[in-house]
Each structure stands twice: as C-alpha cells, then as structure tokens.
Amino acid sequence: MSGNESFHVAALQMVSGTSVQKNLERAEDLIAAAVTRGAKLVALPEYFCLLGRNDGDKLDIAEDPGKGLIQSFLSRCAREHGVWIVGGTLPLKSGDPTRIYNSMLVFDPLGIQVARYDKIHLFGFSKGQESYNESLSIKPGEAVPATFDAPFGKVGLSICYDLRFPELYRAMRDVSLIVVPSAFTYTTGSAHWEILLRARAIENQCYVLAPAQGGRHENGRRTWGHSMLIDPWGEVIACLPEGEGSVVGAIEPGRLEDIRLSLPALKHRTM
C-alpha cells in the first residue's frame, strides 16, 4: 500500500461462553462479517475462546505454543480471508501446571504467526461481592513491549489491564496503532474504559483499536463492551456499546502524520 492509503481495521465484540467450539464458531462468523465490510486487520477480544465458570477452566484448554485447536483456528481464518488476525487472548502453557500465559497471537494474511504477547499486568479487584485475582491462574509474561509491522506501520500489543500502565505504551516507540483486546468488568469499564483508551491515543499520537467482551455471560459475569476505534486526536471513530458485532474504521496514515507534525509532542519528550 502507498504511504497515505487508508487501511480498514475491525474490533470484534463478543459475549463468550463456556463452550470453546461455540465461541470459535461465533468468532468465525464475526470475522467473515467484518471482512465483508472491508476490514484487512481483525482483532478479537480477550478470552474470545472461553469465559469459563471458574479459573481452572482456562487450564483445561491450555495449548502448547505453536499447536492446538485455537491456534489452528486463528491461522486458518487469517489465511482463508487473507487478512491480519490479532487473536484476542488464548491460554498457552507456561511450564507451571497451576497457571497459564494469557497470550495474544498475531497471524499475517498467509496464516503465519508473526507476533506473540503474554499479558504482563494481572488484574486484581475487590469491591463488595465482586472480586478478581488473575494471578491465581495466570503467569505474567516478560515486561518487554511487543510490536509487529503491518502495511500501514508499527502495531503495539497490550491486553486489558495493561491499559492502566502508560509506561508500557511509551516504551513501544512510534507505533501507528495500539491494540487492546479486553474483558473489562462492567464496574471498572463504566468508570474508566473510554477515558483510558482516549488518553493512550492522545499521549502516543496513534490509533487505538479496542475489541472487547460486552454483555452478560453464562458464568454470570457482566462485561462492559464498548469496543471502539479511536484516532490520534482522541476522537472516537466507531463504538459498539453492547452485544456481539464489530466496529470497522480506517487507519489514515496522512491524518496521523498531520497530527504529529502540527503538535510534535513525541519529539518534545525529554524522558
């Protein structure tokens, strides 16, 4: 593609349940629908393949890196549709039988894995009867920024709770797009989701694509949804408040360049 050609991306929103097979079937339908709308990069939400009834369910479906039902599914979808797939998250074995890596894998249009990021910031929250502690079943990845090169520029990878740690995004350096697959709780999402996403876009002067879980799940959990695409000025291009579907919008390299030229904040950094 030429330097200023637009590139359409999609964030899928799901309400994943306790059946891996049903979740994959629904994800495949949503990918196909996004492609018909012109998407050339499709990002799935965190836990797209399973939101189980307890933490142990993730361990039961954990795959060895490089092989397994879920990884084969992502590779096939990328290859068959000829698009980039940012595979939300799936559980990969960590070497610790009690914990998995919550991993994001990226596949190019040939179905080849080109990037992997293991979530490093693990969510912990307790208020009233609502309580989460991801460290019980998830092992944190190495604190190293993960990126890959797409036709329109560099893409930075992060997952859900990472959104609260701006230093991770600063360390990515000169990304055109940040992807944030998430399963924000209704409580924290309603308070902080959009403002954090817009802040990351503004301070890094890049697009932000945020696929999310959005609805009431079989396990009783309620997620916030509001999957969205945000431009480098912090404007929301598209948003899906709740329920399954997708948001599709264009990455415009020319707009990104104009914003960085008119307000060269990234060049003004002293730290």
pLDDT in tens, 90-124: 999 999 999 999 999 999 999 999 999 999 999 88
Q: What is the pLDDT of residue 56?
A: 84
Query: What pLDDT shows up at residue 178?
Result: 98
The pLDDT mean for the chain works out to 95
pLDDT interval class at 3 (50, 70, 90): low
Q: Is residue 2 part of a domain?
A: no
User: Is residue 268 situated within a structural domain?
Assistant: no
- Is 76 part of a structural domain of the chain? yes
Please tell me the total count of domains within the chain.
1
Residue 270 lies in a domain: no
Q: Give me the CATH number covering residue 165.
A: 3.60.110.10
Q: Which residues are catalytic?
A: 46, 119, 160
Cα angle at 155 between 65 and 74, to 5 degrees?
Answer: 35
Flag whether pLDDT at 1 surpasses 60.
no
Indicate yes or no: pTM above 0.75: yes
The answer as to whether 199 is a domain residue is: yes
Domain of 244 in residue numbering reads as 7-262
Q: Is residue 100 situated within a structural domain?
A: yes
Sequence-distant (≥ 6) Cβ neighbours of residue 48 within 8 angstroms:
12, 14, 16, 23, 27, 87, 88, 89, 90, 181, 213
Rounded Cα distance, 92 and 261, in Å: 41
Q: What is the pLDDT of residue 55?
A: 80
Q: Which of 236, 191, 171, 172 is nearest to 210 (CA)?
A: 236
> pLDDT band at 28, cuts 50/70/90?
very high
